[in-house]
Amino acid sequence: MDKPLERIVFLTGHLARPALERVLGGIDAAPFTWEVRDLGLQVAALMTAEMIARRVPGPVQADRILVPGRCRGDLEALTQHYGIPVQRGPEELKDLPRFFNRAAKPMDLREYEVAIFAEIVDAPKLSVDAIVERARGLRADGADVIDLGSLPATRFDHLADSVQALKAEGFSVSVDSNDAQELLRGGRAGADYLLSLTLDTLWVSDEVDAVPVLIPRTPTDEASLYAAVERMQASGRPYFADAILDPIPFGLTASIVRYHRLRERFADAPIMMGIGNVTELTEADTSGINALLFGIAAELNVAAVLTTQVSQHARRAVREADWARRIMHAAASHGSLPKGISDALMTVHAKHPFPDTPQEIAETAAQVRDPNFRVQVSPLGLHVYNRDGLRLGQGAFELWPQLKLEHDAAHAFYMGVELAHAEIAWKLGKRYVQDQPLDWGAAVETRAQDLSSWCAPGTTMATGKARNDESAR
């Protein structure tokens, strides 16, 4: 006998109900039956857990209740109250089909295989305290190993003190230098890894316990790298091998081929890939570059990546690397494309920027009977509407004169901010949600919004005032 379909009750507001019913009706072969209940609010986002408890009498004949994604309050308390799960859905109705698909195919992004070495390139110029402080930030962004870089013709007299200070705080540490004596000092101070040893300086690894990272004498001298690898394999000691990734247009493609040959020759060798030559030396958004490079790393089974964040455009490189290694590991381990796993690396654009058509926005606008402005974005531009009608424009300055807010400073300030956000979203192709910051993914440090905490129901920036839930009907 076939298992009965799950029964889901969807709670919404008056304006969103027709759109919600259209979306639910359009989900092909939905694994559930559904019922929509209008709580008597105009705006579904104003819904709170306390309001639901008052307005939805129990028992609810369903397997679970789905509330709007921005519904505030303690849903666990509602679960206990009704005796069935009460959950938040996506913030946008049009995302419901993807919401149910994603729920059926979860990806665990806690897992990864690639270790991130984050280099402090100017370590010789920093104090020990400054190095430790920088390391804390890199670790918070996802770094596993703090790499102390050296500078040409610059003394690093406090190298040993820096290594020991980092080790005292529990960091794994690597030292990166072309000076064999500097590497020796770092290893004797307790460094865990030494970058970068050639066949000629491999003797350093015999003097200390640090794991060596092997490189060729020159980037194209693959034979010297292979010989160093074979020597380490014969010793039975751990190591990494790095074929050197060259920048564009000075051999990037050839260097990727070198990594591929390295993997073919040494099937089980732990490979390190230094990616700073590409992320730092290419004036393009590093989120996309990191996604591509970590995809290559996943295919080559790379064990570690060395990255930097020196240039201002690369200042989120470590955080992006952390996301990229998790996303690509999930894709590789599930045998799937790196789509639909996470949008953290989609910092500039959105996959589905315009969930509502101009016609759907117009239908919603026609139902509004209050003076509060709503702002939405479609492929045509910015839609601003209230009871006085719908305005359409392609920029904040175009729409501003039509709002007539010269004598309401607080409201004018708010609408200026919202129109600016909406214009940016429309031009870039990002998702815009009124009263919410634009989502820049891993490019911007944001705090997760705590929807479990209670705030004044009906608080809305559209008026700059709090409206109680009765007046919000």
Is residue 133 domain-resident? yes
Per the domain annotation, does 174 fall within a domain?
yes
Are residues 388 and 310 part of one domain? Answer: no
Q: For 330-341, what is each residue's pLDDT tens digit?
A: 999 888 889 888
> How much is the pLDDT for 92?
79
Percentage of residues of the chain with pLDDT beyond 70: 92
pLDDT band at residue 450 using 50, 70 and 90 as cut-offs: low
Same domain, 211 and 175: yes
Which residues make Cβ contacts (< 8 Å) with residue 22, sequence separation at least 6?
A: none
Does 466 fall in a domain?
Answer: no
| 459/2: higher pLDDT | 2
pTM of the model: 0.79
Domain span holding position 94: 6-104
From the list 302, 261, 258, 305, the residue with the least C-alpha distance to 279 is 305
pLDDT for res 103: 47
* Domain CATH for 155: 3.20.20.20
Q: Which of 69, 104, 139 is the last residue of a domain?
A: 104
Q: Which two tokens stand for residue 114?
A: 């690639």
Please give the pLDDT value at position 29: 73
Instruction: Please check whether residue 324 lies inside any domain of the structure.
Output: yes
Whether 135 and 252 share a structural domain: yes
Which pair of structure tokens corresponds to residue 369? 């009977």
Mean per-residue pLDDT, 202-226: 97
Residue 406: predicted pLDDT: 85
pLDDT band at 470 (very low <50, low <70, confident <90, very high): very low
Q: What is the pLDDT of residue 230?
A: 98
Q: Indicate if 176 and 246 belong to the same structural domain.
A: yes
238 and 269 together in one domain: yes
The answer to whether residues 145 and 261 belong to one domain is yes
Question: Are residues 232 and 142 part of one domain?
Answer: yes
Of the ranges 80-89, 253-262, 350-359, 399-408, the best mean pLDDT one: 253-262
Q: Could you read off the pLDDT of 51-107 as tens digits, one per residue?
A: 999 999 989 999 999 999 888 899 999 999 999 999 999 887 778 887 887 544 457
Q: 48: which DSSP letter?
A: B
Residue 263 confidence (pLDDT): 98
- Identify the pLDDT of residue 471: 31
Is residue 420 a part of any domain in this protein?
Answer: yes
Q: What is the dihedral of CA 131, 137, 142, 144, to 10 degrees?
A: 20
What is residue 97's predicted lDDT score, i.e. its pLDDT?
Answer: 82
Q: Which helix (H) or strand (E) holds 296?
A: helix 286-300
Which of 319, 334, 349 delimits the end of a domain? 334
Please state, rounded to an integer, the average pLDDT across all residues of the chain. 90
| Tokens of residue 469, six digits | 């839930």
How far apart CA 444 and CA 65 sit, in angstroms, is: 33
Residue 15 is assigned to a structural domain of this protein:
yes
Q: How many domains does the chain have?
A: 3
Can you list the pairs that 219-222 forms with residues at least 24 positions away whose Cβ atoms lie under 8 Å? Answer: 219/243, 219/244, 219/246, 219/251, 219/255, 219/258, 220/254, 220/258, 222/258, 222/261, 222/262
Q: Is residue 350 part of a domain?
A: no
If asked whether residues 91 and 145 sit together in one domain, one would say: no
Q: What is the pLDDT of residue 41?
A: 86
Q: Are residues 160 and 56 in the same domain?
A: no
The reply to whether 213 and 244 lie within a common domain is: yes
Kindly state whether residue 193 falls inside one of the protein's structural domains: yes
- Quick one: 321 and 431 in the same domain? no
Q: Is the peptide bond before 457 cis (omega within 30 degrees of 0)?
A: no
Are 219 and 245 in the same domain? yes
Any alpha helices (H) in 56-158, and if so which ranges?
75-82, 96-104, 128-141
Answer yes or no: is pLDDT of 179 > 70. Answer: yes
- Tell me which H or E stretch contains 319: helix 317-334
CATH code of the domain covering residue 47: 3.40.50
CB atoms within 10 A of CB 394: 13
Stretch 231-244: mean pLDDT, rounded?
97
